[in-house]
Structure 1
């Protein structure tokens, strides 16, 4: 009988990952397309990716696929060919290779079937996600950043924005993309006659956001093709100035990829310059926050004194 899910403990998997010296490539990709039987496709993909030692997080829904994965570098081309063969509409799929491949990113393969590949909270059946804004590439982005009639909008969560963003980009302060969409419509009403440029990490959120803005009456809507990852890669390869400053937050073990050396955020506990995200070590809290090394030592990796004392109590009891 085929095993279609992981059966090894997370701790064992993390240990194996940290011991491994095999070069791996971290890559993300997504595709909005009709998948008639997501569960069947999920099971086929899990079997194939397991054989290739792929690790990471993949969501499959009737509207498409969204993946952030790590694959042995020697098997990267095999993995891409497998995807192209799985579905004809995957051919030529944009592969956003990570800016930083020096650190391990994932330790387990999880493929889940969901209603949406990105949780958007949209229930209006008249909304057409395929009617998206104009795609922009790095050269156009740099040019438009100089135009006073263009408004840049960051469609990532507040904790992503605080460690890195484009100069003068508007923040839509929220914990979730679901909450951001209606907030963006409200915030941008006063800019309705301007050109609106939306961006995110790899393109999946800003692409849907551009469609949502068009649906709500905005006319001149653009979005960054391939997101911050593709923008940075292209700018570096072609010697363009980097207009994104700071760190690009990523949802894996690395928690961030430096784009520039600028540190624009501060430790949430002492206020010194810092862009190191961590999760509170008290498991009942597990808050994501920015903490410098000094405060990490002082608070034992916790977000405050209360969590530190609770953690100390648990450790003494064990």
Structure 2
């Protein structure tokens, strides 16, 4: 019985091209109490592999977090399968704004301690005791209320290319960092302010809403379905779009355009740009924002050093990165010394803040 992916990304891409059929990129999550994650994980893989479902799925005792690519003609069959699982019956599926048949090229169902890493002891609060979910229309009304504090629960590299108007966007690398910062900043307003949160698809602010309720906040709200569902409802209901820029996504596309504004800058020259790339030096792979001109000048690298590395014969490059492994530091683009304009901009902001 096959329980793991056996095809390479290249082999899978060829099969998708050969099939010539459309696929749907979607995501969903659900907090629940899963007694045996291993059995549930294997059960999902066996059934989804038969349906040619691809993607990245995390399963833990606290629930499931899934980002998937499903053959369009098998979507109904996929939905029927989900509805047969008690805690997933009727679960909201966030369909991507922009579709790409190559968004995922492998089926990876992985066990995790948690579906959202938070650095917390799960025994301290119940993740299913969540705050109030609101739709796009109610969300717009809430964030217009002067008694509301709107918080972006995503990391710095996500909010940099797109966020809601007047949102607090913590300059953090992890979800865990956000929890403490927000609680400290709002500790005097646990009863008199609306704490309204949003994230990509809702999973992070749902856990945060349970955490803040546990910490004594009385008026906790979250945008149901996150930015993905908000964009869909804005289009369907012709609502005012209060989101500026792009929504960062964790697949091959890297982002979805939500509005026409470009609110970020190239990290190498400062030109208006919101295109995320990874440095082509495999030993670096740094995530950063790069305009077309800099991509051409820098050979799609983040630095002169990486530019020199990629000119070496492939075997020499392999030797240089032997035994080394890229970590989550590739996401800390704002902290990289390689990105000279970004570092200069951050230094200017800090000096300005200190003199005010």
**Shorter-chain-normalised TM-score: which range?**
over 0.9
Aligned residue runs from structure 1 range 16-27, under 5 A: 16-17=15-16, 21-27=20-26
Q: CA deviation at 1:184?
A: 2.1
Q: CA deviation at 1:113?
A: 0.9
Assess if the C-alpha contact under 8 Å between 1:18 and 1:104 holds in 2: no
Superimposed CA distance per residue, residues 170-191 of structure 1 (whole angstroms, 9 cap, x where no aligned partner)? 0122122122222221233355
Distance in 2 separating the partners of 1:177 and 1:20: 39
Distance in 1 separating the partners of 2:313 and 2:240: 50
User: 1:278 — aligned with what?
Assistant: 277
Distance in 2 separating the partners of 1:232 and 1:79: 24
- Alpha carbons of 1:315 and 1:170: their partners in 2 closer, same or farther (altered >3 Å)? same
Give yes or no for the alignment of 1:175 onto 2:188.
no
Assess if the C-alpha contact under 8 Å between 2:69 and 2:101 holds in 1: no
Distance in 1 separating the partners of 2:19 and 2:174: 34
Q: CA deviation at 1:220?
A: 1.4
Q: CA deviation at 1:274?
A: 0.8
User: 2:242 — aligned with what?
Assistant: 243
Assess if the C-alpha contact under 8 Å between 1:103 and 1:254 holds in 2: no
Distance in 2 separating the partners of 1:171 and 1:82: 38
Superimposed CA distance per residue, residues 212-244 of structure 1 (whole angstroms, 9 cap, x where no aligned partner)? 112222221111111111111111101101111
Distance in 2 separating the partners of 1:134 and 1:314: 56
Distance in 1 separating the partners of 2:274 and 2:148: 28
Aligned residue runs from structure 1 range 223-302, under 5 A: 223-302=222-301
SS in 2 for 1:308: helix
Aligned alpha-carbon RMSD (Å): 1.7
Assess if the C-alpha contact under 8 Å between 1:151 and 1:191 holds in 2: no
User: 2:213 — aligned with what?
Assistant: 214
SS in 2 for 1:28: strand
Give yes or no for the alignment of 1:188 onto 2:186.
yes
SS in 2 for 1:217: coil
Superimposed CA distance per residue, residues 26-71 of structure 1 (whole angstroms, 9 cap, x where no aligned partner)? 1101111111111111111111101111010001111111100010
Q: Which moved more, 1:33-42 or 1:18-27?
A: 18-27
SS in 2 for 1:49: helix
Q: CA deviation at 1:145?
A: 2.0
Q: CA deviation at 1:283?
A: 1.5
Assess if the C-alpha contact under 8 Å between 1:99 and 1:257 holds in 2: yes
Q: CA deviation at 1:208?
A: 0.6
Q: Which moved more, 1:72-81 or 1:181-190?
A: 181-190
Superimposed CA distance per residue, residues 59-95 of structure 1 (whole angstroms, 9 cap, x where no aligned partner)? 111111110001010101110111111x212111111
Gaps of 5+ in 1: none
SS in 2 for 1:278: strand
Give yes or no for the alignment of 1:156 onto 2:160.
no
Q: 1:96 aligns with which of 87, 94, 97?
A: 94
SS in 1 for 2:179: helix
- Alpha carbons of 1:15 and 1:218: their partners in 2 closer, same or farther (altered >3 Å)? same
Distance in 2 separating the partners of 1:42 and 1:155: 28
**Structure 1 length as normaliser, TM-score?**
0.94
Distance in 1 separating the partners of 2:270 and 2:236: 35
Q: CA deviation at 1:17?
A: 4.5
User: 1:166 — aligned with what?
Assistant: 164
Distance in 2 separating the partners of 1:316 and 1:298: 25
Q: CA deviation at 1:314?
A: 4.1
Q: CA deviation at 1:284?
A: 1.6
Assess if the C-alpha contact under 8 Å between 1:157 and 1:174 holds in 2: yes
